[in-house]
Structure formats: C-alpha cells, structure tokens
Amino acid sequence: MTWADVDECVWNWNPRTQGNGDNTGFTSHKGNFYRTPFVDSRGGTTWTRILTNAVNGYANHEAFVQYMKDYATDKFQTGQTWAINNGNPLGYGYKFVEQEARDTGVPNRPSITYGGPANYPANNLTFQSSVFSANATGGVAFAAMQWRIGELSAPGVPLYDPTQPRIYEIEPVWTSPEITNPAQTTRIPFSLVHPGHTYRGRVRHEDTNGRWSRWSEAIQFVPSAPDVSVYTQDLVISEIMYHPPEATPAEQAAGYSSEDFEFLQLMNVGDAPLDLTDVRFTRGVDFDFPPAYTIPAHSNVYLARNPPVFNFRYGPGKTIVGGYAPDNLANEGERLKLSYGAGTAIHDFNYDHVAPWPTQPDGHGYSLQLISPASRPNHALPTSWRAGTSWASWSAAHGGITNFYRDDDGDGLSALMEYALGLDPNIPSPNGALGVSFADNYLTLSFRRQPGATDLQFLLEFSSDLIAWTGGAETTG
C-alpha cells in the first residue's frame, strides 16, 4: 500500500465523485479509476482501456502508470496502420503527436559536425552545420539558423553523481539567437561549459516561410582543458598607442595629460566569435577581460587607459572593453604580455621606440600598427609594425586643430588636406599639393599621402568640363 493507493481510494469512492459505478462512459468515474477492462467514449470514438496485473477486475497505481507510458510512447502494433479515432489506446498519443508534427514543407533536418581541435578543448568548441536544404515540397530559401547546447548527467555518463539529481538535455545550457547570416560555423562560449562534463550540441534551420526544421541529431562531447591555440591564431594586438602626443590646451583645461590617451587595440581575425574569459594582460599593464566577454569575428575592441578621456580625443563609436589606469605603457618601450589563465602566453614580446622599430609613434601623433593583422604576423618582429595615425592623434600633435578647413601656414591647403598629404600644417608647402606631368600622350597626376592613416579614403575623379565629374579608382591610406 502506498500513498498513491490511499489517495486513489479517497477519490475513487468519494461521495462527490461523479458516476454510479457503471463500467462505461467518460462521465462515470466512481469506482472506475483502476477498473479493467473499462469502456470509454471520449475523443469521438469508443475504446477499451485494459490495465495489467488486475485482481477481480481492478488493477493498481503502477499498472495505470504503465498504461500512460504505453499511450505516450511508440507502442502501436507493428504492421498496422494508425488512424485517428481507431479505438486503440496503445501508442495512440505518440502516433497522434507524430501525425500532427508531420509537415512535408519544413526544411530538411540539418546535420552537425565538430570542427575544432582534437579532444574538444573547452575554449575552442567549434561546430559546423550542413548547408540549408529546402524540402522538395517547401521550395523556399534560408531565413535563419539556431544552435543549442544541453548538459547530460545520467548513469553511464562521465562524472555522473548518483547522489545528485539527473540533468537532461531538454534543459539547454545555451541557445543561440536566431542567426540570419548563413555562416555554417559557430564557437560555443567558453564560459558556458565545464571540462569533464558531458554535453550535446544540435542545430536547426528556418525557411522564409517561418518554419523550422527538426533539431539535428546530437553530437555528444566532453570538453577537455582549454587550448590557447585559438587565441594565438585568431587574437592579435593590432595597435599600440604607447606615447600619445601632448595634451592640447582644451585637453589640459579638462585636466588631462598625454598618458591619459594611451590605448591598446585587439582584433579577432578569425571567422567565429572569440570568448575572452580568462584572458588578461600580465606584463606592461594589468587587465582581466570580463567573464564571457566576446569579440565578434573580424572585429576589434579597445583597451583604453582612461575610457572617458579616450572618447574626449578619439570620439565615440569605438568599442571599449575597459581601462587599465593607474598602469601606463612605457614611452621607452617595454615587455607586453597577453596571457591565458595564470600566465600561459598568447603574445609575449618587447616593443621599442628606436630603430629598427618605427620611431614616429614616440610622441609624434602616431601609434604602432600591426601590418596585415589577418596574416597573423609575429608581434616580436619590428618589421611586423608600422607607424599609423588618425586625424585625432595627428591634430593633437600639431596644436589641437579642431577645424578641418583652417590654413594656419597660408599655403592654400586646408588642415584636412595637410593631414591627407602627410604635410605639416604649421610649415608652408611651396611645391603645392599635386604633381602634374605629361609624357607619351598621358597625363600623370601624383600626390603624397599620409602613411598609416586609418581614417582616410582617396577617391580620384575625372572631368572634361570641370562641371560633371566621374569617379575613378579608390585607394585608402
């Protein structure tokens, strides 16, 4: 006798329970909770419920539980055709849901594969989806995709603890947003998984009619300890402003000094988002990236010594992850180390302010810029770097110019043109801005340009009447 049996007796024979004990009808409940066989007529048809282990026409709670399991699972007889209102409860619920879920127009079920390093390192869990495939009768295009990760803890699974509640995949650890870019690769945020635990990953696709495919078959994996190769391959220090030009009068009036305008720029040159959990600077400056902080693919972020001051000079619109004051970068050069965890090196090198390193970044309005970051150059080589600048840094190095159209040296060139051509706005340029020559029936136009500028774009235009102009080749500094 269990409490379930006691509760059944209370309600099965309660005077307020509906019915008169007849063995039929869906309104006759009294005495019929565990009666077998019992004839019912709900659902638009008549069928007979048969419970096992009956004694004198009555079964028990356990038999009814088994009946419900048989109803909800695929227990329909092999070799027979299921139909609505067929009068057979065995497997009926399962088959009914299966019939309602059948839609020949939904996208085909995608597949998921693992695309990362061996042993599933926890910080480089990269998965790939098959391409979108429209159902033959659906015939529509890709609209979105979605990924999910669920944890699993049950007998036979690594680290299963029988003293703790089981964990089921149906409760997701992570579900991605609906991704409208048909990129087939994703990297799971490192902060969401624990080495040694068991997980399952799946993916699904949506078509332009708003119908989702079934989730893919699962790929089961156990993350191992993290591997820093994802960082050494995809994360670069792309810019170092170690000695900004002196503060302009306006900046000095606001209480700022030169070193307040220092910054480091980091770039993710990979094809998947990069989780910077447990990434930190351990030499040069001290800074820990926030947990779960992620840089999107092919994007950059700034680490500013003083974020509000950074915006004062360089303007808004740049992604700033944080600040490292009171630390500062050494003007004479120093060791800079970007680490994972307690000190595993991602990049460890010394920059300098003298040749063979570029010398213009030493207080002259330029920064150290990594050449071709996507090629993953060696940070320790001086030849991997160039002197780069921007209008904000260049203007600060020349007295704090705020008006693009000023011509302080009276040479006929605006401040913006002086910047674009790599000239000094305080020294007249007697030779003019352009060089023109004619030879072999060709007109040649030559001009200087600011080396290493990150915010310049040159567009050559042509005109035969100086009224209508046609755009030509485009180049950037």
Closest CA to 11 of 35, 32, 39: 32
CATH of the domain at 350: 2.60.40.1260
193 and 94 belong to one structural domain: no
Q: What pLDDT was estimated at residue 432?
A: 58
Mean pLDDT for the chain? 87
214 and 118 belong to one structural domain: yes
CATH of the domain at 191: 2.60.40.10
Structure confidence by residue, pLDDT tens digits, 63-86 = 889 989 988 888 888 888 888 878
37 and 54 belong to one structural domain: yes
**If DSSP states are collapsed to H, E and C, what string results for the chain?**
CCHHHHHHHHHHCCCCCCCCCCCECCCCCCCCCCECCEEECHHHCCEEECCCCCECCECCHHHHHHHHHHHHCCCCCCCCCCCCCCCCCCCHHHHHHHHHHCCCCCCCCCCEEECCCCCCECCCCEEEECCCCCCCCCCCCEEEEEEEEEEEECCCCCCCCCCCCCECCCCEEEECCCECCCCCEEECCHHHCCCCCEEEEEEEEEECCCCECCCCCCEEECCECCCCHHHHHHEEEEEEECCCCCCCHHHHHCCCCHHHHCEEEEEECCCCCEECCCEEEEECCCEECCCCCEECCCEEEEEECCHHHHHHHHCCCCCEEEECCCCCCCCCCCEEEEEECCCEEEEEEECCCCCCCCCCCCCCCCEEEECCHHHCCCCCCHHHEEEEECHHHHHHHCCCCCCCCCCCCCCCCCHHHHHHCCCCCCCCCCCCCEEEEEECCEEEEEECCCCCECCCEEEEEECCCCCCCEEEEEEEC
243 and 356 belong to one structural domain: yes
253 and 387 belong to one structural domain: yes
Residue 15 has pLDDT above 60, yes or no: yes
312 and 333 belong to one structural domain: yes
Q: In the structure, what pLDDT confidence band is assigned to residue 270 with cuts at 50, 70 and 90?
A: very high
265 and 242 belong to one structural domain: yes
Q: Is residue 227 part of a domain?
A: no
Q: What pLDDT was estimated at residue 433?
A: 64
Out of 352-356, 410-414, 454-458, pick the least confident.
Answer: 454-458
Q: What pLDDT was estimated at residue 80?
A: 81
Q: Is residue 211 part of a domain?
A: yes
Task: Calculate mean pLDDT across residues 456-477.
Answer: 74
pLDDT more than 70, % of the chain: 95
| Last residue of one domain, picked from the residues 78, 101, 124 | 101
Q: What pLDDT was estimated at residue 476?
A: 44
Q: Is residue 419 part of a domain?
A: yes
Q: Is residue 226 part of a domain?
A: no
Of residues 467 and 341, more confidence is placed in 467
What is the pTM assigned to this prediction? 0.55
Residue 431 has pLDDT above 80, yes or no: no
| Last residue of one domain, picked from the residues 396, 423, 441 | 396
Q: In the structure, what pLDDT confidence band is assigned to residue 328 with cuts at 50, 70 and 90?
A: very high
| Last residue of one domain, picked from the residues 375, 396, 417 | 396
86 and 150 belong to one structural domain: no
89 and 204 belong to one structural domain: no
Which residue is associated with the tokens 């709670």? 61
Q: State the total domains in the chain.
A: 4
Residue 106 has pLDDT above 70, yes or no: yes
256 and 345 belong to one structural domain: yes
Q: Is residue 107 part of a domain?
A: no
Structure confidence by residue, pLDDT tens digits, 190-242 = 778 888 899 999 999 999 988 899 999 999 999 988 888 899 999 999 999 99
282 and 362 belong to one structural domain: yes
pLDDT more than 90, % of the chain: 43
Task: Calculate mean pLDDT across residues 436-440.
Answer: 84
Which range of residues forms the domain containing residue 143?
112-221
Residue 24 has pLDDT above 70, yes or no: no
Of residues 359 and 437, more confidence is placed in 359
308 and 373 belong to one structural domain: yes
Q: In the structure, what pLDDT confidence band is assigned to residue 378 with cuts at 50, 70 and 90?
A: very high
